């Protein structure tokens, strides 16, 4: 696990931080499920993506991707195969664009979060197209892109609000 653990962070601290981040992602995912009952089909707030962005910025890319995989596994176990595949594909697409934008640009938290939400939707639509064997699911992208902008702004603002405190906690030795 040395490739995952940042230099200067003890193994036990790393495990504790990752456990806390995964627990936060799980709780936020649960809240997301509760909120989705009031939203059109397929639209979610994406609250647990705040944790992935936090890990990208506060720990490192391998750890953030591990959390993305664990989050998809949690969805697989709690909501079934289709939801797990959709979570994995959407989460991986969002992770890739988020990591790229945070690593190669000076984009704001909100802008990165909006692009992450849009790519999450694209990843999920790609998975749905494969599972359903039709590209017609991409017709839903117009609605998903509007909701992605709205939810991306909200999650980006939340990330901006919590990031200073989270970085203090993560970086303590």
Q: What SS3 state is found at 71?
A: helix
Residue 2 pLDDT: 53
Low-confidence ranges of the chain (pLDDT < 70): 1-2, 172-173
- The pLDDT tens digits of the residues spanning 30-80 come to 898 888 888 887 788 889 999 999 999 989 999 999 999 999 999 999 999
Tell me the domains of the chain and their CATH numbers: 11-171 (1.10.1760.20)
CA-CA distances (angstroms) from residue 36 to 7, 44, 116, 160? Answer: 39, 5, 19, 23
CA-CA distances (angstroms) from residue 102 to 2, 56, 114, 134? Answer: 23, 8, 13, 33
Residue 167 pLDDT: 83
**Tokens 């790519």 sit at which residue?**
119
- Within 10 angstroms of residue 34's Cβ, the number of other Cβ atoms is 9
- Assigned token pair, 61: 């890319």
47 secondary structure, DSSP code: T
What's the pTM? 0.90
Residue 170 pLDDT: 79
């Amino acid at each position: 696990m040395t490739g995952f653990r940042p230099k200067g962070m003890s193994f036990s601290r790393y495990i504790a931080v990752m456990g806390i981040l995964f627990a936060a992602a799980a709780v936020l995912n649960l809240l997301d499920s509760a909120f989705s009952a009031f939203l059109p089909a397929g639209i979610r707030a994406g609250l647990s993506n705040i944790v992935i962005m936090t890990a990208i910025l506060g720990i490192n890319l391998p750890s953030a991707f591990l959390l993305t995989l664990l989050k998809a596994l949690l969805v697989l176990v709690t909501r079934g195969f289709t939801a797990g595949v959709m979570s994995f594909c959407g989460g991986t697409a969002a992770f890739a664009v988020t990591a790229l934008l945070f690593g190669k640009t000076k984009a704001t938290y909100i802008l990165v979060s909006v692009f992450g939400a849009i790519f999450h939707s694209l990843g999920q639509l790609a998975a749905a197209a494969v599972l359903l064997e039709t590209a017609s699911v991409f017709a839903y992208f117009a609605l998903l892109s509007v909701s992605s902008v709205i939810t991306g702004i909200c999650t980006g603002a939340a990330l901006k609000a919590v990031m200073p405190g989270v970085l203090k906690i993560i970086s303590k030795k």
